[in-house]
Amino acid sequence: MANLSVEFSGLKLKNPLIAASAGTTKDALHCRQAQDAGFGAVILKSIQEESVNRYNPFPRMTVIRNGISGYHADTFMTYEQAFEGNLKEYCDEIKKAKEMLDIPVIASLNCAREETWAEYAVECEKAGADAIEVVPSCPVGAFVREGVEFYPIASKAVRDVREAVKIPAGLKMTQQMANPIVCAMDLEKDGADWLTMFNRSVGFEVDIETMEPIMHKGFCGHGGPWVIQSVMHWIAATRSHVKCPISATGGVTNYEDVIRYLLSGAANVQIASLIYMKGFDEIRKILEQMEQYLEKHSVKNVTDIIGVAAEKVLPLDKADRSRRYFAQVDYEKCVGCKKCFPVCIYGAISNDGKQPVIDSEKCDGCGLCSQICGRAITMKGKGDRDNG
C-alpha cells in the first residue's frame, strides 16, 4: 500500500490533506469530524479581532451557476464570517480540540491592528496549538477590504508572530497583488515556515432584477473549481524560488485535483468548500482513490510526486511550433450531436446534414473541435494524412 504520510514544517501528517479554516472546522466537534473523515491535520476556523466579523449574517451562502450554454462553471460565494467568539473562547476551543484529536491542530489568526498579531499568537500557543496560520488575506477582512498593499501588512504580521512563539507559523496569501512570486520570496525571508496559496478572492454579484448586490449588499469571498489552474500556476512558478513548503487551497472537487496540486509542487492540500457541498465522506473517497492512483503508477511514497509536473514546465521558446495538425472524424464514433459545427472560426467544418465534414486544408489545427467533441474527432499530424 502506498505511503501517504508527509512532513509539514515540523509537523508529521498521516496524509497531505488538511481541513482548511472554515465553518467546517468551526469548533472542536467539527474538527473531530474532519479527523474521523481522514484529514491529516485541521486548521481551526479563524479568530478575527474585528468583533463584527464574529457574527454571521443570514443567509450567507450561494452557488452561482453560469457559463456558456451547454457548459457550466460553479462559483461558491459566501458572506461567511469568523469564529463566533473572543480570544479566550477561541483558546478554549483549541484546548478542547487538542483533547479530542490525535492529528495536528493549527490556529488561524486574522487581526486588524499590527500590535495584536503577537498577542493572539502567544495565547494560541499557550492553549496548545501545534502551529499558527497568519491570515491577513481574508476576503472580507480589514486589509483586503480596504485595498491596502498586502506585503507590508503580511510581513509585519509574520515577523511579529515568529518572534513571539516557538511553534511553526505560516502565512496565507492572497492573489490580489502584483507579483505573488516576489511576495512569497520576501515572506520566506521574513520567517514564514510555510506559505498557503491562496485565500479566496473578493467577489461581487448583482441581482439584475433588483439592481442590487446579492447577500447583504456587500462584497463576498468567492471560489470554486475554476480557480485551481490559477493556483497551480503560482505554486509551480514559485516553488523553485522558495525553500519553505507551499500549502495549496481552492477548487478541489476530487482526488484528481489533489494529485494535480501535488504534481504542481504543493506540499499538502487544504479543503473546505467540497465538504460544504458534499460532506466529510468525500475525504474518505479521495484518500482511497489517491492510494489507488499511486499504486497504479508504482509510486511508494506520495512525497515522490510533489513537483514532478512543475519540473517539466518548458519556457515559451520550447513550445512545439514545428508540426501542423488537422482534425479528423471517426464516423463510426460520431453520433451526429452537431456540437462541433459552430466552433470553427476557420470555416473548416461543414456538414452533410447529419455529420461533420472537415476540410483539412482550411483546418488550423487548434484542437478546439476535438475538445468540444471528446468522442469522434481527433487531431492528426499533417504528415499522417495519407495514413489517417
Residue 350 belongs to domain with CATH number:
3.30.70.20
Q: Is residue 305 part of a domain?
A: yes
Contact 54, 81 (CB under 8 A): yes
Domain boundary among 312, 342, 363: 312
Number of domains in the chain: 2
What's the CA gap between 321 and 338, in Å, rounded? 30
User: Does one domain contain both 100 and 33?
Assistant: yes
Confidence at 75, pLDDT banded by 50, 70, 90: confident
Question: What pLDDT does 145 receive?
Answer: 65
Question: What pLDDT does 142 receive?
Answer: 67
User: Does one domain contain both 104 and 119?
Assistant: yes
218-265 confidence digits (pLDDT tens) = 888 888 888 999 999 999 999 999 999 999 999 999 999 999 999 999
Contact 235, 261 (CB under 8 A): yes
Q: Which of 55-64, 115-124, 181-190, 296-305 has the lowest mean pLDDT?
A: 55-64
Q: Is residue 171 part of a domain?
A: yes
Q: How far is CA 279 from CA 159, 221, 282, in A?
A: 37, 20, 6
Chain-wide mean pLDDT for the chain?
91
Share of the chain above pLDDT 70, in %: 94
Question: What pLDDT does 388 receive?
Answer: 41
What is 80-108 written as a DSSP string? Answer: ----SS-HHHHHHHHHHHHHH-SS-EEEE
* Nearest alpha-carbon partner for 184 in 138, 151, 157, 216: 151
Helices H / strands E in the chain, number of each: 11, 21
Confidence at 384, pLDDT banded by 50, 70, 90: low
Residue 22 clears pLDDT 80, i.e. is over it: yes
Terminal alpha carbon distance of the chain: 43
pLDDT mean over 104-132: 96
Task: Provide the domain limits for residue 109.
Answer: 6-312
* Nearest alpha-carbon partner for 17 in 215, 270, 273: 270
Domain boundary among 312, 333, 368: 312
User: Does one domain contain both 279 and 336?
Assistant: no
User: Does one domain contain both 277 and 335?
Assistant: no
Q: Quote the distance between the C-alpha of residue 150 and its chain's center.
A: 19
Domain boundary among 293, 312, 331: 312
Contact 6, 13 (CB under 8 A): yes
User: Does one domain contain both 233 and 119?
Assistant: yes
User: Does one domain contain both 175 and 90?
Assistant: yes
**Residue labelled with grid coordinates 492529528:** 103
Question: What pLDDT does 383 receive?
Answer: 65
Cell numbers at 102, concatenated? 490525535
- What are residue 17's DSSP bridge partners? 269
User: Does one domain contain both 25 and 166?
Assistant: yes
Higher pLDDT, 169 or 63: 169
Q: Which of 144-148, 319-323, 340-344 has the lowest mean pLDDT?
A: 144-148
User: Does one domain contain both 234 and 346?
Assistant: no
Residue 71 clears pLDDT 60, i.e. is over it: yes
Residue 72 clears pLDDT 70, i.e. is over it: yes
Q: Is the peptide bond between 341 and the residue preceding it cis, with omega within 30 degrees of 0? A: no
Residue 143 clears pLDDT 70, i.e. is over it: no
pLDDT mean over 42-53: 87
Question: What pLDDT does 378 receive?
Answer: 95
Question: What pLDDT does 121 receive?
Answer: 98
Q: Is residue 1 part of a domain?
A: no
User: Does one domain contain both 369 and 254?
Assistant: no
Other C-beta atoms within 10 Å of 326: how many? 20
Other C-beta atoms within 10 Å of 99: how many? 9
What is the identity of the amino acid at 331? Answer: Y
User: Does one domain contain both 289 and 332?
Assistant: no
Share of the chain above pLDDT 90, in %: 71
Confidence at 4, pLDDT banded by 50, 70, 90: very high
User: Does one domain contain both 308 and 352?
Assistant: no
What is the value of pTM for the model shown? 0.91
pLDDT mean over 39-49: 96
Higher pLDDT, 200 or 162: 162
Q: Is residue 16 part of a domain?
A: yes
* Nearest alpha-carbon partner for 270 in 21, 45, 18: 18
User: Does one domain contain both 215 and 355?
Assistant: no
What is the identity of the amino acid at 179? Answer: N
Q: What is the CATH number of the domain that holds 54?
A: 3.20.20.70
